[in-house]
Structure formats: structure tokens, C-alpha cells
Structure 1
Amino acid sequence: MADLNPSRTLIYRPFAETDLPAAHRLSQAVKWPHRLDDWRFVLQLGSGFVAEDESGVVGTALGWPFGDAHAALGMVIVSPEHQGRGIGRELFSRVLDSLGTRTIFLHATPSGEPLYAKFGFKATGTIDQHQGAAFQPPLISLPPGERLRPLGINDGPRLAELASRAAGYERGAVIDALLDFANGIALDRDGELLGFALFRRFGRGHVIGPVIAPDALRAQALISHWLALHEGMFLRLDVPGDSGLSDWLQGLGLPRVDTVVAMARGAVPAREPALRAFGIVNQALG
């Protein structure tokens, strides 16, 4: 919907913590599921900009640096009443400039993909969003010597290492922040931590992610653990389109409700072949 009063004066400024309630209302206006706490979490890890006029905050965009060479960009929202004025483009451009020469990742909706392509972003894959409450978790048998166990107090550095290796870039800050409030299960072989899956409140219910594992079978075991503990609750998982998990999840009663395009600008890092993310944190942070 076009702005009915395009003469309003727009101001672009850094995103402040006091903008969180307005940003939350903005995401509700475009029917995003984020709670105020979900906004608070992503702002804790990054920074960004808002567009504001006499009516208040009408646009947002955030970015998250992962070390000196990589970053993510997301939470690009413009109020439905103010779309068509180039606000999203300007916010996007400002966050891009703030992230410098890093390789930047994002997840694009169909409406956003053409804009991002103009800024040099190229498609690298897809992310399938699965959610639901009427599922039946299976029992997954692990190879001999492997087991699932609760995360221990000293597991944090190993989780950060595994997540970083699976991504090909630094993920320690994201994992450390998640561990302040998420629950976790570890995949263990004779005392060696091979993978893990975190579980936390998000949006309309709870989300499983990230899920880091050597292969799809072990990822299924980690995911099934959380499904079995929360049967009948509303759960969400966002999995790469090439993970091999989408059909499996749909067969369990967790339908695919959306697919977005993963995009990157810059050199995409090489991931370790024997370890990967089978579930992401969220579509903003990857």
C-alpha cells in the first residue's frame, strides 16, 4: 500500500534499544511472528537503522558481524502504509555500508529478492520453514557408541567450534548468546561432542535450531529428541533446502509453510564436508 502522505519528513538514524517496542509493532503489522523478546535478542547481537517520520518508526533494518570477514543482514521491514517510497532500499544500503567489505548473507522473500540482486547478492540455496503441532516423532537409532546427552556447563566452547566449522565462519557470539536462555541436547561419542541442537521460545511457540550434525541421520535423532519431549506443542524448524530433511519433516506432520532464498554477496566460505547446519538459528541470523 502506498503512503497516503508522501510529504512527511523522513529521518534515518541508528536503531536504539528504545525503538524495540515500535519495531515489534511494525513486525506485527506485516504479520511476522516475532515477540518483543525475539527482537531484543537480535538487537543484542548487532546494530542497524530505523526510518522515522511524525507518526513514529516506519522502517527497520539490522546487521550482524561475524568476525572481520562475514556478516548477516535482516529484519528489513517497512510499514505497509509507507511502502513504495524507497525506504527499504535506503535502510538496506545503510546497513550494507556499516558492514564494510565483509561477505554478507541474507534470506530473501520473493518480493525482496530483486532488490538484493541489484546490490550484488546472488542466490546460494533455499531455506524451508516447517511448523506445526500435530506431529508423531519417530525413534532414531544412533550408531554404536553414540548417545544423546544434556549439554554440560563446559560444552559452550565446543558448541561454538562446531557451529563455526559447519558454517565456515565465526559463530561463537551467536551460540554464547543462545546458551543464556536456550535448552540443548548434545550428540556424544565416547566423550567427544559431535553435534547438538538447541531449543527455545520463538514467535508463536518454540523453535529447534541451530541443529549441527555430521549427517542427516544424526540430525534426525537430535530433532526427534525435541519433538518427543514436546508432542502437541507448536514447533518451528528452518532447514536448508538441500538438507534432505524437508520430506521427512512433512511426513512427521510438520508441513513446509514457506521457502525463502539464501543469498550472499562476496566469497562464500567453504564448509567442512563432514559437518553442517541442518537447522538454522533463524532467518535473520542464519
Structure 2
Amino acid sequence: MADTEPVAIVELGVNDAPGGFALSTEARWNQNEADWRFFLTNGIVFGVRDGTHLVATAALLPYSAGNAWISMVLVTERWRRRGIATRLVDACLDAARQRGLTTWLDATPAGATVYGPLGFAPTLQLRRLRLEHSTHATSTTLANFDIDTFSARDRRAMGFERNALLAEFGARTGSRVVSCGNAMALVRDGRIARHIGPLFADSAADALMLANAISQSESGPLLIDAIASQEQFIVGLTGAGWNIERPFQRMRFGRATAQSEELPFAVAGPEFG
């Protein structure tokens, strides 16, 4: 299709999960096909096709208390620099306005320069860290934790509930909700690495003890999206062999609808908040 031809934005369905997965795989993101099915089943996902081939996406995932997350803004290489990503985000914002939703997103530094002029305001910052192989041993024992108690703590951290998301995560093959002392975290599969988060704790020392215990119980690479202001936790992770891959900027469009009661140490991921 020529650059000058109009681009039609369509709403996608669950059968588009393989096409969305192909786009995030091209971008070398960590989402798996189960993540795409969740977005397409529980959210509003817009896309652009070249014939039957999906070439761009953006998703709006509603949560409770008038909140929603925008993510999965992807355009295949050949279709970039045509303004498609901006149009897809506008479609998500229009859908959110129609439903009275405050929208959030976690942007890369390049993305933040695009979303700022659209009206998004920065809130907190994240740091994505990766661990290839654990560099130290620990004798800490992990305990399994129930998803309802975990969801209640997530609600205090977010200011709104995400029970459907966390229950779906917890029910997936390979997922674990684990605790160590008063720290707790969810561990789940990704395409290229297992992901830790959300992670809650009463102190950085407790959060680090849990992260270390998880790393010792896992055999493959791990990712974690830590809150940047939890500096002691991040320093502890890097000292244990984790490497900072990239920053993310959390941004909000519209007024805050709820106040969080605690700051987590790590989040569910930039695509989920």
C-alpha cells in the first residue's frame, strides 16, 4: 500500500492474537500469546491491516474505578513514520473518553516525547532489569501465597483493583505467587524471560531477599520492572548481577481517580501497569 493511501483503523478480536504476537516478537518484546489473548478478550485493541496481515496495534485495557492502561503500541518496520502509532493512541483515548476512563501508560524515553504533547503527564519512573544467571547462593525458602491476598495488596499499591488480571496470571501454567517473610511477588512466563512482578514488601531488604530467592529457584533469564525511587532495592539487584536494560516513564492522561496506599518495589510490566 502506498504511503499516500488512507489507513483504516479497525477493532481487533481474539483471533488476532497470533498477528499481535508476531508484531511484539518483531519488536523483541517479552509478551507471549497468552498476554495477547488477555488484551483481546478483556480490552479494546485497535489495529491496521495490510490486506489480511496485521501491521500495527494499540490496546486499551480497562481496570476498575475509571482507570485504563494503554499499551501494545506497535508498528511493523515497513509501516513506521506514517503517523500510525499516534492515530492508534488517539483511537484508544477516544474510546477511553467515551467510557469516562483515566488512561495510564508506561513509555520508553522516545515514547514519552510523543505522549507528552498529547496531554500525558509524567508520574513515577521504572527501571527494567535483567538477570541471565544468578551470581550468589541463598538459603531462603519460598512459600506459596494465595492470589486473593496478593490482589488486595496490589489494590493498595495501585489505588484500584486488577483482580481479573492477577487471577488470570496466577492461573497460567508455570505462574507462581510466592512470599518470603512479608514480601510477596508474582512470577510468570514471558516469550524470552520469566517476569517478576508485581512485588510488594515492607522494606528494601525484604524485597531483595525475595528477589534473590526467586532467582535461585529459576533456571532461565529473569526480568523485573522496578520502581526507580526504590533506589536501595535497585542497588541490591545490580549488586546481585542484574543489569539495567532501559527506563520507562509512567504517564497519566486525566485526573487521578484514586490514591495508592503503598509504593510497590516492582510492577506487573509496562504493558499492564
Normalised by the length of structure 1, the TM-score is: 0.85
- Superposed, 1:120-139 pairs within 5 Å as 120-137=119-136, 139=138
Looking at structure 2, the residues matched to 22 and 223 of structure 1 have their Cα atoms a distance apart, in angstroms, of: 34
Instruction: Decide which of 242, 247, 253 is 2:241's aligned counterpart.
Output: 253
Q: Deviations over 1:176-228 (max 9, x none)?
A: 1111122111355xxxxx54211111121211111122222221122122112
Give % identity: 24
Aligned residue for 2:205, secondary structure, equals helix
Give the direction of change, closer, same or farther, for the CA distance of 1:138–1:215 in structure 2 (3 Å limit).
Answer: farther
**Aligned pair 1:185/2:174, yes or no?**
no
Q: Is contact 1:199-1:209 (8 Å) kept?
A: yes
Query: Could you tell me which residue of structure 2 aligns to residue 115 of structure 1?
Result: 114
Query: Could you tell me which residue of structure 1 aligns to residue 192 of structure 2?
Result: 204
Instruction: Decide which of 5, 12, 15 is 1:18's aligned counterpart.
Output: 15
Query: Could you tell me which residue of structure 2 aligns to residue 150 of structure 1?
Result: 144
Looking at structure 1, the residues matched to 54 and 200 of structure 2 have their Cα atoms a distance apart, in angstroms, of: 37
Instruction: Decide which of 209, 216, 239 is 1:228's aligned counterpart.
Output: 216
Aligned residue for 1:214, secondary structure, equals coil
Query: Could you tell me which residue of structure 1 aligns to residue 229 of structure 2?
Result: 242
Q: Is contact 2:46-2:57 (8 Å) kept?
A: yes
Q: Is contact 1:140-1:224 (8 Å) kept?
A: no
**Aligned pair 1:72/2:69, yes or no?**
yes
Cα distance, 1:164 vs. partner?
A: 0.3
Aligned residue for 1:226, secondary structure, equals helix
Cα distance, 1:5 vs. partner?
A: 2.4
Q: Which has the higher helix share?
A: 2
Cα distance, 1:261 vs. partner?
A: 1.1
Q: Is contact 1:66-1:170 (8 Å) kept?
A: yes
Cα distance, 1:116 vs. partner?
A: 0.9
**Matched residue type, 2:204:** A
Structure 1 segments, 4+ long, off by >4 Å, are 137-141
Q: Deviations over 1:74-124 (max 9, x none)?
A: 000111111122111111111112122322210112222122112211111
Unpaired segments ≥5 residues, structure 1:
142-146, 189-193
Looking at structure 2, the residues matched to 237 and 261 of structure 1 have their Cα atoms a distance apart, in angstroms, of: 15
- Superposed, 1:31-110 pairs within 5 Å as 31-54=28-51, 56-100=53-97, 101-110=100-109
Normalised by the length of structure 2, the TM-score is: 0.89
Looking at structure 2, the residues matched to 252 and 139 of structure 1 have their Cα atoms a distance apart, in angstroms, of: 11
Aligned residue for 1:59, secondary structure, equals strand
Instruction: Decide which of 27, 35, 46 is 2:24's aligned counterpart.
Output: 27
Looking at structure 2, the residues matched to 96 and 137 of structure 1 have their Cα atoms a distance apart, in angstroms, of: 46
Give the direction of change, closer, same or farther, for the CA distance of 1:175–1:33 in structure 2 (3 Å limit).
Answer: closer
Q: Deviations over 1:15-73 (max 9, x none)?
A: 11111111122222223233323322343432211111336211100011111321111
Cα distance, 1:140 vs. partner?
A: 8.6
Give the direction of change, closer, same or farther, for the CA distance of 1:196–1:42 in structure 2 (3 Å limit).
Answer: farther
Q: Which has the higher strand share?
A: 1
Query: Could you tell me which residue of structure 2 aligns to residue 191 of structure 1?
Result: none
Aligned residue for 1:124, secondary structure, equals strand
Looking at structure 1, the residues matched to 215 and 183 of structure 2 have their Cα atoms a distance apart, in angstroms, of: 17
